[in-house]
Amino acid sequence: MSAATTRSRTPDRLCAEAVDLARAAAEEAAAPGVVGEHVGLVSEGDRVVTHLFECKEMGYRGWRWAATVARASRAKIVTLDEVVLLPGPDALLAPEWVPWSERLRPGDLGPGDLLPTDQEDLRLEPGFTGEEEPAPNSVVSGEMAELAEAEDAEVSPGAPAVQSTVPARGSIASVAEELGMRRARVLSRYGLHVAADRWEESFGAQTPMAQAAPATCLSCGFLTPIGGSLGQAFGVCANEFSPADGRVVSLSYGCGGHSEAAVMPKAPQPPPPVVDETRVDVFPLRPARDSGSVPEAGDAETAELGHS
């Protein structure tokens, strides 16, 4: 009891003395031999005391068996309330539970997986909903749209079924479609910023590859421009030998595969073949009769020349 800890409230004497009752209850609840020393008691209220016993079970370091005992007012008999295993101040605990949405990491999404997007996702904001009406003096006002539609109808042959389903020229929907806004939600300013930061970190000016590059992507022939506001700072690399092939790169990124960094020298052209017409090369038409004797070049030459 030397290490006993008590609250400021004085524990009930009879309850505090009921250590054996508490230990027996703890031993009954626990596996045999895992209830250790009595390490303290806590006064839970009037005539209610919790006795704490060390837990010797492997894997539960720092945990304690807590047996709560109580007695009724003016009663002499102490009875058991409950027995539970509780973590102590230095107990080995499982890590804090983290919701799946916070545990998710880039690359975790596999084929067939569905990743729900929060309704309040800060990276997105509403796109064109079709609810806005153009101002009366707008170039896309109702009158203008009707006019444009009428013009379109005059020059569009064929039955209605074969007519285009794209929004009428001059309508808000058509303008929104042109700007890539005709979706329920589009990237918000915050979404643009976090994407740009992420891309800059992977393929930006501060990366070791860019620091050692002979020139930036801005002047590289393999850079494919992208649209939208992000196109002012990023493009897509289309050099299959670059580590950034098919990736969005900052215009200030660069790599050794830059199209103009080192122009490959032309392969030397072999000289044209020389035909020496001053010499006669002799080729015997038949193999020598005696396989052991090879005709002398002079003999064969003489024979061929004599024959001609």
Does residue number 244 form part of the binding site for ligand SF4 (CB under 6 A)?
A: yes
Nearer to ligand SF4, 60 or 253 (CB): 253
User: Do residues 46 and 75 touch, judged by C-beta distance below 8 A?
Assistant: no
Task: Name which position in 237, 293, 295, 298 contacts ligand SF4 (CB under 6 A).
Answer: 237
Question: In this structure, what are the phi and psi dihedrals at residue 172, rounded to the nearest 5 degrees?
Answer: -60, -40
Residue 220 as a binder of ligand SF4 (CB under 6 A): the answer is yes
Q: What is the rounded CA–CA span in Å between residue 209 and residue 252?
A: 11
The span from the CA of 51 to the CA of 18, in Å, is: 9
249 contacts ligand SF4 (rule: CB under 6 A)? yes
Q: Which stretch binds ligand SF4 (CB under 6 A): 60-68, 179-187, 250-258, 294-302?
A: 250-258
Taking CB under 6 A as the rule, which mask of x and - marks residues 120-159 in contact with ligand SF4?
Answer: ----------------------------------------
Contact 260, 216 (CB under 8 A): no
Alpha helices in the chain (DSSP H): 13-17, 19-29, 100-103, 142-155, 172-178, 189-203, 208-211, 297-307
Closest residue by Cα to residue 308 from 285, 278, 292: 285
The site for ligand SF4, by CB under 6 A, has a size of 14
Among residues 34, 49, 239, 248, which is the contact residue for ligand SF4, using CB under 6 A?
239
Would you state the structure tokens that stand for residue 39, as one six-digit string?
A: 């390490």
Q: Which of 223, 252, 273, 282 binds ligand SF4 (CB under 6 A)?
A: 223
Residue 25 or 220: the one with the smaller Cβ distance to ligand SF4 is 220
Residue 128 vs 253, nearer CB to ligand SF4: 253
Instruction: Using the rule CB under 6 A, give the single segment among 69-77, 125-133, 218-226, 290-298 that binds ligand SF4.
Output: 218-226
Residues of this chain, 252-271, that bind ligand SF4 according to CB under 6 A: 253-255, 257-258
The strand pairing partners of 64, in sequence order, are 54, 86
With respect to ligand SF4, which residue has the nearer C-beta, 78 or 255? 255
Q: Which residues contact 246 (CB under 8 A, 6 or more apart)?
A: 236, 237, 238
**204 part of the interface to ligand SF4, by CB under 6 A:** no
Shortest separation between residue 231's beta carbon and ligand SF4, angstroms = 14
Q: Determine which residue in the list 242, 268, 289, 307 makes contact with ligand SF4, applying CB under 6 A.
A: 242
Closer residue to ligand SF4 (CB): 19 or 244? 244
Q: Chain centroid to CA 42: how far?
A: 50
Residue 20 backbone class (left: φ over 0; alpha: ψ -120 to 50; beta: rest): alpha
Residues 6+ apart with CB under 8 A from 288: 294, 295
Integer Cα distance of 245 and 247 in angstroms: 5
Binding site for ligand SF4 (CB under 6 A): 217, 220, 222-223, 237, 239, 242, 244, 249, 253-255, 257-258
